[in-house]
Structure 1
Amino acid sequence: MDKADDRHIVISADGHCGASVTGYRDYLESSYLEDFDRWESTFEVPYEDMKGEEGSRNWDSDRRLRDLEEDGVVAEVLYPNTVPPFFSTSSLASGQAAVPNAEELRRRRAGLQAHNRWLADFCSQAKGRRAGVMQVLPHDIDAAVADVRAGVAAGLHGGVLLPGVPPGSGLPPLYHHDYYAPLWETCAELGIPINCHSGGSGPRTGDREEDDMFFLMEMKWWDQRTLRHLILGGVLERHPGLKFVFTEVGADWIPGLLKSMDRFFDSARTPSGLSGDEVTYHGSHVIDRLSLRPSEYWQRQCYVGASFLHPNETAKRGLVGVDKIMWGSDYPHIEASFPYSREAIRFALGGVPADEAAAMLAGNAAEVYGFSLDELRPVAARIGPGRDDVEAGLDPATLPPEAAKCPAFAGAMPGAATTQLGDNRKSVEK
């Protein structure tokens, strides 16, 4: 076997980055510099992992490449992490509340434009190994479309981060609304995906500890809601060339949700209804406008960035679609698999045939985000995890205690109920 074929190429479909606070200044239009200086003079970084020495992992290109190569990762998809100009918190979650006025909206758009320009430069420092996900504000849909075109022209091929528009945001909260059609049309035309990342869809209910807990627990529900609206609301029907990616929301919920939507679809299309506990939909029969069942839209146009991929999820790969799952490390977050990504990969994919593992580790992400596997293969030949090692799996009892920080090892650490090795050898198909 050729050395390059002896190791897996690993593309993380979930990485986070951003400039330091002052690092964004050079990427702002000159008319915003005085505003920026006033904002920056009072701004305090709200997140501990973005301060001090650890914070540089977000913007230090050389350090990031060293860390990821030590972890066996050759390329990554990059979502935002640090706070862009004129925001108070991460822009990933800032779309959950209404923008107070037109001037603030103008400033925030300028801040996101600065992030996109910075991101294009950051990706160019590791050509072919980074796919930057651009940010837009949907409050002015024509401006959002212009920003998408500018991002693609600058070299950002990671697609668009779908802004959160829950109730209270001041925007149509349902993505099947005609208001968003120009954005869908543009992304389909340019061949870039729409990315839904956990934390960006749901509203915050307050600032108490209980509110934080429920926000974390309900993230997945809001992403499920988004998928329902995109499919049953006809977005995927009207834009068959558009790709949607759901990242950092797990993969175990997908088969059940698709099954329930298929049942609803079948019931709505049956005049007399279905027997059992299903209820026939007697509305305007908008379901009749769909040419495919919900699960078929998923298979045609949707993907999951399965950060913290777990053996329980890998066992369902036949139901989700082996060609739909993309592994992710979530670097540089505290809960990331770094520096135990090799172990996380072995634990999640033990017993999985090498060709299926290769698809989930790199092939699918290369197709969605435009990476060249041929260009990445020489790097993987140096640092990638061995194919035989991955298929052999990992005994979780050998993991160091600090690995427990990552959800990829949930329930598997010493002292907890362990997952039996070999569970992934055959994918669940029914």
Structure 2
Amino acid sequence: MSTGNSRPLISVDSHVVEPKDLWLKRLPKRFLHQAPQVKSTEQGDFFIVPNTGMSPKPVGTEGAMINTKINGVITKPTGYRFEDQRPGAYDPIARLEDQDSQGVQAEIVYPGWLIVHSIPEFDLKVACVRAYNDWLFEEFCAHDPNRLIGAVALPVGQGPVEPAIEEAKRWAARGAKTFLLPQAVPGMAWGDAHWEPLWAVLEEIGLPVGFHQAAGQVAIFNDKTTPGVFWTTAIGNKISLGWVFMQLVYGAVPERHPNLRFILVEGGIGWIAFQLNTMDHMFTDHHRWTVPELSMKPSEYFNRNFWATFEDDRPGILTLPMLDEKRLMWAGDYPHTEGNFPFAQEQVAHDFQDVDDDVVSAITHDNAIDLFGLDIPRLVKS
């Protein structure tokens, strides 16, 4: 792969757009009447999950690029057909070509249709997640598993944890490198005792576990009566990854499982310094009487057990003196309109201006190699 004078990059948060008939082909027969699929209408193509009460979503609202950015402008994603999306969203060959054009050596690949995590019927959700994982690894990532590195989705919700445990074990045995959990399960904080068997198994397996913003239903910032509800939800999804961090720390999950590794995916990093400082302050004042008991400051758990990703966060970069650079990782977020394609190199240069080159290489490249155990040469000699 030739990147010319480009800086080598590894994206720890990219996405695939699933084939419109994936679940029609792979679900057991008893679920086919509810199979997620794409429906074509005169108004455009829509993602639907029939017979579940879930609302249709126009193709494009999940963020996949319809056209390449021109002067930073994206055309409004309504009324389009599935095939109007950028081919690299669903075609692995086209994806690798787009990677090459950006100097991206590898990507951690997350789902495109994250709303599958919100399917209300638990058995259907489990079947859909398993079918997605099979397709991701057997078809999409199989084209080049060293560069297209799938995140195994774990089925969780209003149901037992055993299906998630089984899926984690199934894919760990097949060489997976990371897992995906939704950012929220309504009514169940991540520190709840319900999840304890899952944490124990994931700690034993030893692979990093990502919480992706907008996956699942968000427990906060979900007031449908608020004006500009799209904007409040979109921004609230990102901000509430800090809420996920608090649930885990204050629920004593990393206290009980010191070897778990968590990733806060696509929430940016500008909030971290403020939140850690505030949480440490509260810990100093109140830890002697709060339950559960914690043995370390919240910032110490973060710097031992957590990583965070961003694609465009100059304010966050300016807080680097207050953070551990080894806990931060760059992402391209391809093919989403919020991502930085086809200007990844320019975005990195802008965000990291005046930052030491070894630090840039660590955040945009080497930290991902270390966390996921990638077979790619590091840029910084340690």
TM-score (norm 1): 0.72
Tell me: CA distance 1:215–1:28, structure 2 relative to 1, closer, same or farther (3 Å). same
Q: 1:399 aligns to what?
A: none
Indicate conservation of the 8 Å contact 1:159/1:187, yes or no. Answer: no
The one of 91, 95, 117 equivalent to 2:116 is 91
Is contact 1:117-1:154 (8 Å) kept?
A: no
How far is 1:140 from its partner? 1.7
For residues 299-345 of structure 1, what are the alpha-carbon distances to aligned partners after superposition, in whole Å with 9 as ceiling and x for unaligned? Answer: 001111112132x2212123221101100111001121000001011
Q: 2:142 aligns with which of 124, 130, 148?
A: 124
Change (3 A) 1:4 1:248: closer
Match of 1:19 in 2: 18
Structure 1, unmatched stretches of 5+, are 84-89, 271-283, 378-386, 388-430
The answer on 1:189 being equivalent to 2:208 is no
State the alpha-carbon separation in 2 of the partners of residues 349 and 202 from structure 1. 31
The C-alpha deviation readout for 1:184-221, integer Å capped at 9, x for no partner, is 11221111122122223524433886322221232234
CA, structure 1 residues 182+325, in 2 after alignment: closer, same or farther (shift >3 Å)? same
1:24-45, Cα deviation, whole Å (9 max, x unpaired): 44433455456649x7778932
Stretch moving more, 200-209 or 333-342: 200-209
- Tell me what 1:296 maps to: 300
Partner of 1:158: 178
Q: How does 1:284-323 map to 2 (within 5 A)?
A: 285-286=290-291, 289-310=293-314, 312-323=315-326
CA distance in 1, matches of 2:122, 2:201: 22
Q: Is the 8 A contact 1:120 1:155 kept in 2?
A: no
The 1:58/1:153 distance shift into structure 2, 3 A limit, reads farther
Of 184-193 and 258-267, more deviation after overlay is shown by 184-193
Q: 1:105 aligns with which of 112, 122, 138?
A: 122
Does residue 331 (structure 1) correspond to residue 331 (structure 2)? The answer is: no
TM-score (norm 2): 0.81
CA contact (8 A) 1:9 1:73 kept: yes
On the 8 A contact 2:22/2:132 being kept in 1, the answer is no
How far is the alpha carbon of 1:55 from its aligned partner? 5.3
SS at match of 1:147: helix
Alpha carbons of 1:105 and 1:300: their partners in 2 closer, same or farther (altered >3 Å)? same
User: Is residue 48 from structure 1 mapped to residue 66 from structure 2 by the alignment?
Assistant: no
User: Which of 250, 268, 272 matches 2:268?
Assistant: 250
- How many residues are aligned here? 340
Q: Do 1:247 and 1:304's aligned partners in 2 also have CA atoms closer than 8 Å?
A: yes
Q: Which residue of 2 aligns with 1:362?
A: 365
Taking only aligned residues, the RMSD between alpha carbons, in angstroms, comes to: 2.8
Per-residue CA deviation, residues 115-165 of structure 1 (Å, 9 max, x unaligned), is 111111222211211221222224220111111212323443122223521
Distance 2:125 2:283 in 1: 40
- Which residue of the partner structure matches residue 73 of structure 2? none
Identity %: 24
Larger radius of gyration: 1
CA-CA distance at 1:15 after TM superposition: 0.3
What secondary structure sits across from 2:228 in the alignment? Answer: helix
Q: Quick check: 1:251–1:320 contact (8 Å CA) kept in 2?
A: no
Higher relative contact order (CA 8 A, sep 6+): 1
User: Offset at 1:72?
Assistant: 1.3
Three-state SS of the structure 1 residue aligned to 2:104 is: coil
Question: C-alpha displacement at 1:56, in angstroms?
Answer: 3.6
Cα pair distance change 1:4/1:70, threshold 3 Å: closer
Task: Identify the structure with the greater strand proportion.
Answer: 2
**Range 364-373 or range 215-224, more displaced:** 215-224
Q: Are 2:270 and 2:316, in contact at CA under 8 Å, matched by a contact in 1? A: yes
Q: How has the CA–CA distance of structure 1 residues 35 and 260 changed in structure 2, closer, same or farther, with 3 Å as cutoff?
A: closer
Distance 1:228 1:182, change over 3 A: same
Q: Does the 8 A contact of 2:265 with 2:309 survive in 1?
A: yes
Q: Does 1:71 align with 2:102?
A: yes
Maintained 8 Å contact 1:332/1:338: yes
Structure 2: which 5+ residue stretches go unaligned?
48-56, 65-81
* Cα distance in structure 2, aligned partners of 1:218 and 1:328: 19
Letter in 1 for 2:14: G
Q: 1:152 to 1:207 in 2, by over 3 A?
A: farther
Q: Determine the structure 2 residue equivalent to 1:28.
A: 27
Report the equivalent of 2:352: 349
Shift in CA distance, 248/291, structure 1 to aligned 2, threshold 3 Å: same
Task: Map 1:146-295 to 2 at 5 A.
Answer: 146-165=166-185, 169=186, 171-172=187-188, 174-200=189-215, 202-203=218-219, 204-206=222-224, 210-269=228-287, 285-286=290-291, 289-295=293-299
